[in-house]
Structure 1
Amino acid sequence: MKIIRSRTFTAERPWGALDIACMNGITARLHWTDRPYRWHVNDGEEIFAVLDGRVEMRYRENGEERSAILETGDVFHATVGTEHVAHPIGAARILVVEQAGSV
């Protein structure tokens, strides 16, 4: 049993993470960041939930770059093959659920 106060979580570096659980090969991790990640494609699907802060999520769809501002409480679902990159607007805390070992 765990209770995690996401608003107080910080990491020593951008995209540092707290491993919450690994359930049948699917991980749930809490990330803290104040810097962009990098363009990438996950090994499978990804759920990206903004728990605190704001994030500009950039993604490519049919070769065209798009973006959306994710507010606290918003969720981004990256389907298989979706190239994307997260750009936090200030500090943000994000819950990421994905296949274990994914980028």
Structure 2
Amino acid sequence: MSCRVVRSCAFTAERAWGALDIANLDGTTVRLHWTDQPYVWHVNDGQEVFVVLDGEVQMHYRDGGEERQVLLGVGDLFYAAVGCEHVAHPRGAARILVVEREGSV
């Protein structure tokens, strides 16, 4: 299929952080995630762009050893550089578009 439409607000998964693979751009994945549960603290081995498409997500991250957090709403994005420790906590159900290196943690 050369084209497709994804209605992100209609997407659900069978488990928290379940994903729909949208595209692989020469080793960079674009995936739509649905979740209603927090993820785990982690550090990606590549850069990550995290875009909230539906819902709200409280993003916790560590910067210079200090824990910080920011509330992300629809249309907001969070960029995590290599080495940025972070964890996403949705407030209720959320749909998130994640762009990252294929196989990244």
TM-score by length of 1: 0.99
Structure 2: any 5+ residue segments left out of the alignment?
none
Identity of aligned residues (%): 67
1:5 is aligned to 7
1:16 is aligned to 18
Q: Distance in 2 between matches of 1:38 and 1:29?
A: 18
TM-score by length of 2: 0.97
Deviating runs (4+, > 2 A) in structure 1?
none
**2:97 match: secondary structure:** strand
How far off is 1:21 after superposition? 0.4
- Please give the root-mean-square deviation of Cα atoms over the aligned residues, in Å: 0.3
**1:31 match: secondary structure:** strand
Give the number of aligned pairs: 103
Q: Work out whether 1:87 is the aligned partner of 2:64.
A: no
Q: Distance in 2 between matches of 1:10 and 1:25?
A: 25
Structure 1: any 5+ residue segments left out of the alignment?
none
**1:21 match: secondary structure:** strand
